[in-house]
Chain A
């Protein structure tokens, strides 16, 4: 149950093409990441909606292949 940093980046980039995306592998185990995503797609959405959009971009991997992802999302103003 793990996902490579490249695969994670690819999924996020596909979901947020205009996004500024930064990923840290927190534990070096391909299973605990922190991601920062800044995208205009978040504009006007609340935090819950923003994180739901990220989880949707991960296509069901969150909570399965991917155990932990600390998320920070930001709008592009």
Chain B
């Protein structure tokens, strides 16, 4: 495992809910990142966010880490949940809330 993948793994293990996104929850820089932030806010979930635009290594590393080519990426309890489409789908069918409250 490369240095950056180790660092990513550490962050994911340390934070129950962690979102890799473009921008910050206060000022998202991409509509897809904003959608996921809004869903988490609506569910009143505290989450740790990582702005991939501030760190090119993390931006590339996170894509390889989960074999997932796009941002945002949501992780809960150390597990990759998905990107914007999956989070939205899970929010609408109630699975997201169940997963977050585990």
A residues with CB within 8 A of B = 47-48, 51-52, 55, 60, 62-64, 68, 70-72
* B residues less than 8 Å from A60 (CB atoms): 69
Within 8 Å by CB of A63, from B69, B80, B85, lies: B69
Interface class of chain A by DSSP: mixed
B63 within 8 A of A: yes
When A70-B85, A71-B85, A72-B85 are in contact, do A48 and B80 touch as well, CB less than 8 Å?
yes
Q: How many residues of B contact A (CB 8 A)?
A: 15
Sample of 11 more A-B contacts, CB < 8 Å, known A51-B82, A51-B85, A51-B86: A47-B82, A47-B86, A47-B89, A48-B80, A48-B82, A51-B68, A51-B83, A55-B69, A63-B69, A68-B32, A71-B85
Roughly how many angstroms separate A64 CA and B70 CA in the complex, as a whole number?
9
B67 within 8 A of A: yes
Question: Which A residue's beta carbon lies closest to that of B90?
Answer: A47
- Interchain nearest-CB distance for A74 vs B (Å): 11
When A52-B68, A55-B68, A55-B69 are in contact, do A63 and B63 touch as well, CB less than 8 Å?
yes
* B residues less than 8 Å from A71 (CB atoms): 85
